[in-house]
Amino acid sequence: MSLGLRRGIASMASLKKASKVVCIGRNYADHVKELNNQRPKQPFFFLKPASSILAPGEGPVIRPKGVDLHYEIELALIMGKQVKNLEASDEKGAMDAIESYALSIDMTARNAQNEAKKKGLPWDISKGFDTFLPISEIIPKSAIPDPHNVEIYLKVNDKTQQEDSTELMLFRIPRILSDISKVMTLEKGDIVITGTPKGVGPVVPGDVMTAGIKVDGKELPESKIEVK
């Protein structure tokens, strides 16, 4: 009975079966600056494997040997339907395609990523280790009336390192979903993470990351991530 009601609605188990996780890079101006990167003229994106997803309570994040491990807090979109060739001007189409939200941490082997960038090699290894995508519980769509107007934050050992509004996104969600869907069809259950604001930095084993989303100054309980 409750199965019937919940059929087709995202669950943590279904997130782990996402057919892809698409990640936007350089989508907040101050973060672009802090990594000495160029501001992109259009959204660019890369993939993380579903095997990198770390559900609530499943921690810790494992730091591979020799890795300079960075956090990047990001708002995640969970797709509710197939999206193909969406027009960037189709704001309603974009919003209708989103089933729910989550908060996520795009863990990054920064030294490996920097080396890949220098050598022109793929980023996928530096982004794709097991446990490199801690994710919160699913946040119902109704809890976030405007995804371009929430505060996302990340603390390391109670010190706030990232805290910005999603209104600072360089490319907004309809443009992001449009650009992705003109390359790769988005499927129901796919996850799109929307880029990180300034303040990224290293964590080491033993550190505790706490992250969350605030809407109008009020914390969303489902958005909470606490991970070692």
The residue among 128 and 212 lying less far from a copy of itself, judged by its C-beta, is 128
Q: Does 80 bind a copy of itself (CB under 8 A)?
A: no
CA angle at residue 107 from 80 to 96, to 5 degrees?
15
Q: Shortest distance, CB of residue 51 to Mg ion, whole angstroms? A: 16
- CB of residue 152 to a copy of itself, shortest distance in Å: 22
Site string for a copy of itself, 106-135 (x = CB under 8 A): ----------xxxxxxxxxx--xxx-----
Residues 13-42 that bind a copy of itself (CB under 8 A): 17, 19-20, 22, 25, 38
Q: Which partner, Mg ion, a copy of itself, none, binds residue 17 by CB below 5 to 8 Å per kind?
A: a copy of itself
Which stretch in 47-55, 151-159, 160-168, 200-208 sits in contact with a copy of itself by CB under 8 A?
47-55
> Are β-strands 98-105 and 73-79 bridged in parallel, bridged antiparallel, or unpaired?
antiparallel
Interface with Mg ion (CB under 5 A), residue from 122, 145, 205, 221:
122
Q: Which does 217 bind (CB under 5 to 8 A by kind): Mg ion, a copy of itself, none?
A: none
Site residues (CB under 8 A) for a copy of itself, limited to 182-221: 183-187
CB of 119 to a copy of itself, least distance (A): 8
Cis, peptide link before residue 221, omega less than 30° from 0: no
For a copy of itself, the closer of residues 81 and 155 by Cβ is 81
Do 41 and 26 contact (CB within 8 A), yes or no? no
CA neighbor of 81 nearest in space, from 3, 171, 195, 185: 185
Position 101 contacts a copy of itself (CB under 8 A): no
Q: Which of residues 32-51 bind Mg ion (CB under 5 A)?
A: 46
Kindly list the residues in this chain that would bind Mg ion in the complex (CB under 5 A): 46, 72, 106, 122-124, 196
Kindly list the residues in this chain that would bind a copy of itself in the complex (CB under 8 A): 17, 19-20, 22, 25, 38, 44-47, 49-52, 64, 84, 116-125, 128-130, 183-187
